[in-house]
Amino acid sequence: MKKNIIKLLIIAGLTGTLASCTKDLNQSPKNDITADQVYSTPLGYTQAMAKVYGSLALSGNEGPAGNNDLQGVPDEGNYAGYLRTAWYLQELPTDEAMIAWGDPGLQDFKNMNWSSDNPAIVGQYYRLMYEVTLVNDFLRQSTDDKLSSRGITGTDADRIRQYRSEARFLRAFAYWGLMDLYGNPPFVTEADALGSVLPKQIKRADLFKYIETELTEIQGTLVDARQNEYGRADKAAAWALLARMYLNAKVYTGTDRSADAMTNASKVIAAGYALNSNYRELLLADNDQNNNEAIFTINYDGLLTKGFGGMTFMTHASLGDPMPGAQTLGVDGKWGGIRTSKDLTDLFADDGKTDYASYPKNFTNNTSAVDKRAQFWFNGFNPTVPSLTTFTDGIGVLKFRNLKKNDAVGKDFGHSDADFPVFRLAEMYLIYAEAAIRTGSNTGTAVEYINKLQERARGNTSGNKTAADLTLNFILQERARELYWECQRRTDLIRFESFTSANYLWTWKGGSKAGRAVNATRALYPIPSADITVNPNLVQNPGY
């Protein structure tokens, strides 16, 4: 299944320049290939749809780098890809991650002093805008009138109509990212006339309503859960995005929607997904095989989707001396960039119910750890973190490896085969449990779901919880134990009112080794200054 979607990414090359980001969502595609040429055949529509999916995995049209999608975004490998910049923005300011590199803007995240010109903030913004632009173009070109005029009928037309629903999901996902990270972005759809006016700014609460409406409308036309090609959106992907969005609705709109989060998480849970029996296999190079936990993924292939972002970044940047040899973990080099601190690893002390000192201090494939989710490397590291820019100040993380379940290396040492799980079943269990606590309902079912995670983590019932154990603080900690480094922590901390406040301090928060509170305006990233300059309709977020 994985090979099919990857093949689509390869043949998508001719449509790769259909649209390029020029600091304006409402742009007409600019390149030598016209829309009438690209969309003249059913294959052309498939190629264009593959580009919409591929924009989340790749940074340009020439792997591993070259022909960058985002004009004006420097250092394509570092700042132009979706997953790498999303990881920077979601993980680096939090208790889960630190980075040793001095690339422009990266240390600003832990220090919480970023500006509107931070290249990672700019790159993520334009990547999401670019995704919206691609979708809008596809939707304009795939109306029934357009298909009829091009002589596309029958099963070919039906397949393209299916693509339209998936494209709308991907646009909703991009707009969710813009809403979550930037608050009030520019807004345009396929209904807006091209190039006539600059996009207007949409309020966060209004964008929430738009995304909600889109996801609700397409549920009837998306493929049933678990019935689409691997890596493509289905009904469960829409439910999962709604569940995540409703869980954060109070942040976005001021109104709690926990009950709706529980409803949509329940739909996903009832769709037949199952936890992978071994947590350590979730992010390996063959995690597309026999994996019924993944709901929606960003797909990578070490030979066919070469790039310096995505999972290649995760597998290389998290390794450095004195950790295991690079090829032992399936890569051709250790970049010595990202690691964690005791703020994360101490959460695996399991509330004092187990002896944290008994946890293995090295990575091994044995099962002696009490909580198998604790994939850390301690030897040779200084957990007191005297410096943010020294890789060995901290604790190593080995959650991402370019190895298969049998320890064989992926297809290419230089680029990862592992896919990134945007949504997986474990998150739905956690959403349901948190929503149950916040609404004071269905706690028995919530305990059942939490204990599924506990039993997977330990291989037994020793860590099982009761209703009394299910507090909001437990959920915040459990989300870190289960989902660390999966691009969710900033959003979680904001929802729990702990991101900028003194309610929860972590190592080097706000640039202080002991941690400090920062201005609440840091709960939103700024709109890039270049967009503010060219579009007078946009108002910058407070504090920038």
Closest CA to 78 of 16, 124, 43: 124
Closest CA to 18 of 41, 45, 42, 43: 45
Q: Tell which phi-psi region holds residue 33, choosing left (phi > 0), alpha (psi between -120 and 50) or beta.
A: beta
Say if CB 423 and CB 241 are below 8 A apart: yes
CA distance 74 to 57: 18
CA distances from 371 to 394, 419, 515 (A): 20, 23, 27
Alpha helices in 484-540 (DSSP H): 489-495, 529-534
**Sequential pLDDT tens for the chain (544 residues):** 455 655 555 444 434 334 445 444 444 444 456 788 899 999 999 999 999 999 999 999 888 988 899 988 989 999 999 999 999 999 999 999 999 999 999 999 999 999 999 999 999 999 999 999 999 999 999 999 999 999 999 999 999 999 999 999 999 999 999 999 999 999 999 999 877 689 999 999 999 999 999 999 999 999 999 999 999 999 999 999 999 999 999 999 999 999 999 999 999 999 999 999 999 999 999 999 989 999 999 999 999 999 999 999 999 999 999 998 888 889 999 999 999 999 999 998 754 433 434 444 444 433 445 888 998 998 899 999 999 999 999 999 999 999 999 989 999 999 999 999 999 999 999 999 999 999 999 999 999 999 999 999 999 999 999 999 999 999 999 999 999 999 999 999 999 999 999 999 999 999 999 999 999 999 999 999 999 999 999 999 999 9
Provide the whole-model pTM: 0.94
CA distance 531 to 526: 10
CA distance 326 to 158: 47
- Residue 331 tokens, joined: 């890569």
Paired residues of 296 in beta bridges: 423
Say if CB 178 and CB 185 are below 8 A apart: yes
Say if CB 169 and CB 134 are below 8 A apart: no
- Residue 524 tokens, joined: 């939103």
Alpha helices in 93-247 (DSSP H): 107-111, 119-141, 144-149, 154-182, 204-218, 235-247
**How high is the pLDDT of residue 74?**
86
**How high is the pLDDT of residue 66?**
84
Say if CB 354 and CB 370 are below 8 A apart: yes
CA distance 107 to 511: 9
Preceding amide of 526 cis, omega within 30:
no
**How high is the pLDDT of residue 350?**
57
Task: Output the DSSP codes for 32-53.
Answer: SS-HHHHTTSHHHHHHHHHHHH
- Residue 457 tokens, joined: 């983590």
3-state secondary structure 203-256: CHHHHHHHHHHHHHHHCCCCCCCCCCCCCCCCHHHHHHHHHHHHHCHHHHHCCC
Q: HSE (CB half, 13 Å, CA atoms) of 427?
A: 27
